[in-house]
Chains A and B, each alone.
Chain A
Amino acid sequence: MGDGTQDATRPPSTGTASGFGRLLVVVYGVFALAASARAGYQLATEFDQAPVAYLLSAFAAAVYAVATIALARATPRSHRVATIAVLIELVGVLVVGAISLAVPSLFPEATVWSRFGQGYGYVPLVLPFVGLWWLRRHRPS
C-alpha cells in the first residue's frame, strides 16, 4: 500500500501491460469474457436461428481473447500478436458495423460489433483505436 501519492522515484514502467495498459487489459478481458459467454450460450441454445451472427460472436470473442492475453504478456512477440488481433478487431467492427446498418436482415440477432457496437456503448468502436495507439507507444525496441 502506498501513501496515496505517486512515487516519483519509481522508474517509468514499460510494456503493454503496465500503467494505462493495466486498465486496457481489463477492458479487453471484460469484452473477451462477455463475448465468449454470449457466443457460447447462443451457439449452445439457438444456433439455428442466426448462425452467421452467432459464429461472428464466437469469432469476435476469440479475437478479444487473443488481444487480452497478448497485451497482458507484453513480450516482443506478443506485441505483434496483439497488433494483428487489434487490427482484425478494427476491421471487424467497421465492416460488421457497416453491413449491419446497410443490410440489417443479415444480422437478425445482435453481435458485439453490430451497429458499430451500439449495444455496448460504442466501446467496441473506440477500443481498437485506443489499442493501436497504446501498441504504437510501446513498440519493442
Chain B
Amino acid sequence: MLNQEFKVPAKLKTTSLTLLAIGIVTLLAGVFTLLMSHDQMSQNRFWAVLLQNSVFFLLISLASVFILSATSLAQGAWIVSFRRIPEAIGSIVWVMAMIAGLVLLTIVWTNNHHIYKWLEDGYIVHNKLNALKNFFLNRNFFTIWTLIVLGLWSWFGIKLRQLSIKQDSDPKGSTKTYWLNFNYSAGFIFVFALSLASTIPWLWIMSLDAHWFSTMFSWYTFASSFVSGMSMIMLWILYTKRHGYLGHVNDEHIHDVGKFMFAFSIFWTYLWFSQFMLIWYANIPEETIYFKIRMHGPYKFFYWINIILNFVCPILILMPRPNKRNYFVVTLVAIIILTGHWIDFYQMVMPATVGENWHIGWFEIGIVCGFIGLIISLVSNKLTKAPLVPQNNPLLKETIIHIS
C-alpha cells in the first residue's frame, strides 16, 4: 500500500502533450506574426509575454525547492507524506531555468532596449543619475549573475530529490541522509536569500522600470511565487489522490497545505499593501509613477483583479475550517491563486514593456498553455521515476498519524 509506483494516466499524457503542442504552435505563430512584424509594440509583446511566463513558471517551480528546504530545516513531518511531489517539481527547475535564461539573455544580448531600457546606448548620457545604476544594470553582470543563480537553483532542485531517493535504499534506521539533506537545505536557503529574496527580482523584473525602485520588491515577488508554488503542489496532491495514489495523505495534510495557501495569501497582501501604502502615503513622484499607470491608467482592471483574486478570494473562501478540507473548494482556490499571481506578474512586466497596448489574446493564452503542458508532462514523468512514499524517512510514521 505504501510503495506506490505512479503511472501517468493516459488522459493526463494526452492533455499535457496537447497543451505543449498548443504552446509550441503559438510560439511559432508568435515568431512569424509578432516578432517579425514591423510594429514595435508587437515585438515588445512577444518578448514581454515570454519574459513574464518563463520567469513566473520558473519561480513557482522554484518555490517547491524552497518549501522542501524550509520544511526540512524545521523538521516538519506533515510534508513527508507527499514530499515526492515538491521534489519532482523542484527537479524540473533546470528546464524552466534554461527557458527563462534563454529568454532573458536573448533580450539582453540582442540589446533589446524596448524591454530593458537600460540597454539603450547612451543611457547614461541622457541622465546623469543613471551612471551608478549601470554598475548593476549592465549586460555582463546580468549574464554572469543570471547564469550562476540559475545553475545553483537547478543543482539544488536536483540534489534535494536525489538525496531523498537515496534514503529509500539506505539501511533502515539510518539517519545519515536525513541530516545530509538538512545541511543541503540550509545551503539552499542561503543561496535563496541572496538570489530570489534580493538580487534576482531587481535584476529581472524591477529593472524593466529602470528608474523606479522599491526595497520591498523582491520579498513581494517571493511571496507571490511562494503562495503560487504551494497552490501548484496542492493541485498535484489532489490529482494523484484522485487517481488512487497517496492513500496515506488525508484531510489533515490537505488542511495544512490549505492553511499555507490561506496564510501566505494574507502574507502576500501584507507585503503588497506595505509597498503600496508607503509609496502612496509619501507621495513622491519618482515612486508613485509606478502605481499611476497601474491604478489609474490602462491597467486599472488588473490592479483590482489582483487584489480580488489574491486576497479577497483566499481569505474569504479559506477562512472556515471545513473549506480547507473540501477537495473541490481547495482546488478552486488553488486555481484562483495561480491565476491571480500570474496576473500579478503580468502587471509587473507589461506596463513597462507594452504600455497601454496590453493584450490577453491568443499569444498570451497559448504560451501559458505551453508552459502548463510542459510542467505537467515533466513533473508527471518525474513522479514515475521514484516511489511516491519516501520509505525510509525518519518522520514517515509521524506523518501517517499527523493531525493538522
- Please determine whether chains A and B interact with each other in the same assembly: no
